[in-house]
Structure 1
């Protein structure tokens, strides 16, 4: 299995510092980040939104493969993730990743879908990595 990597560079310290994050694939290349992009909604990225994107994409792919493995071959899945960061003493802790799934899978029962989605949430590699509460809300269109 491949090992993937990303990198970050930070110049200056604390609130005055500026950072840049890149990914091996080049999908992110020197994307700015720092205190203002993380806590003050300035343009750029931040670790929490990157984790949210990773969790949403990982879960959605895991669910897609699980549904295919259960014999379903058509449908659409759209997942958003909201990652919560909270003050924790002198620092911060990521406390939650809330997945919100909107799905359309013709011919699947709501019970079967809920069971398969719960397993995908549990078994997605990013879910296994996170040490935070992970929730899942589902909208299944007929």
Structure 2
């Protein structure tokens, strides 16, 4: 691979910044996690049209809600089953987008987490990439 290819926001940090290491199979896990969080959030991961700057980068915004054990505040949640599924998908997506590739699960583990109980999932460390600036 001579140069980075992909959609901004979905490519792993180490693809565009060599400080995070080289490209590996865990780069695809990162992309999957970003897509998963976008699906469950019902919005793009970066939304500059929100009222509060803390809501610009969805993974940080939703992580804070999980950390404080707050309601997820997602419009797609209609009942308790949806709430459980959304929580599981968010936790899995946050594991997938860990900045350090060694902290990301393999896709086999991702499938196991999605098929398993949400009660067995731990909240991962906060991904430490900073939110993009508000234009």
Higher strand share: 1
Larger RCO (CA under 8 A, 6+ residues apart) = 2
TM-score for the superposition, normalised by structure 1? 0.29
TM-score for the superposition, normalised by structure 2? 0.31
Larger Rg: 1
Higher helix share: 2
